[in-house]
Structure 1
């Protein structure tokens, strides 16, 4: 029974890493579609999100079956519970990427009011956070999980810089208010994505130690 449980857990870990990779990709695609104003690429984000949703359901179903058939206790149960929570965070990250794609389609081919510098930086940081959060999960590394707070602070700082810059631009030129607001939404979606990665870090700490700790 124990060996079967470990095999099932190994299978779940592989699928979780795959889902994380898919989320990193959808973040990259959504922001690239904005930067290049590639509307077809923006539309592809919806299909990518469907794939993420499908994998989430597959992992959830496997977790529930494992709980029902193996009846895990203590640490094993915490591990499965953590996986269930992580896939929820990952799925919501995918939803934020969809929101970015929707805004990109709204902007369409209109000339961007500013060069996109901080938004791509935010995207790269959030992608790194997804990678590090899952690395922390696989290695049960609570120190790495705690480091996510540092990256989240960087994302927050970039969002604040974007916010202040766009507010100033709107005050100087009310004609750009619509697009400036759209870019603010995109920054906010990336900031929330980073928050979900931080959530994963907190879940890992609980999984390993049994104690709840806020790292943000």
Structure 2
């Protein structure tokens, strides 16, 4: 994009978010538009500054990261959310990716990794960025693909065609929230970290159906 990337940071550690803000604001193609330390601050910040990218800590005061992300996605559906955390919990990562966050990075990531992640998600709307330890993938057991329900297979088959949750809902006469719940269950059962990962795993297992039949 020709103008600088508008970026906001939410972290409950004042020194960390201030230092990170100064670091990122020194880049010619990034403009830090605001900092916040809790869930309400994050929501107010996004409404007031309309950032392109939000760096969001996983743990902060408020109702919790999942409802906060859900609210942010509803208020600003075009916002690119990148999670920052001290821990790489498989369950947390799967759940947040299922909600539409664009990446998950450990706070131990290098400056170069963080900058690359920010630029990548803005440049490519299909890109999902993960910067985690290899132990994450070792810790996630392979679930039996046969555990998917008929409805979950139906939803995933439509997702494999590139349909959005809303489009899948219209095809199956389901609420979008119901489609999201099915997709979340698919992520957990297949130990998938993205839609593409879930589709690939289901395809290898021969689970995908022709939606026309």
TM-score in terms of structure 2 length:
0.25
Larger radius of gyration: 1
Could you say which structure has the higher strand fraction?
2
TM-score in terms of structure 1 length:
0.25
Could you say which structure has the higher helix fraction?
1
Work out which structure has the larger RCO, using CA pairs closer than 8 Å and 6 or more positions apart in sequence: 1
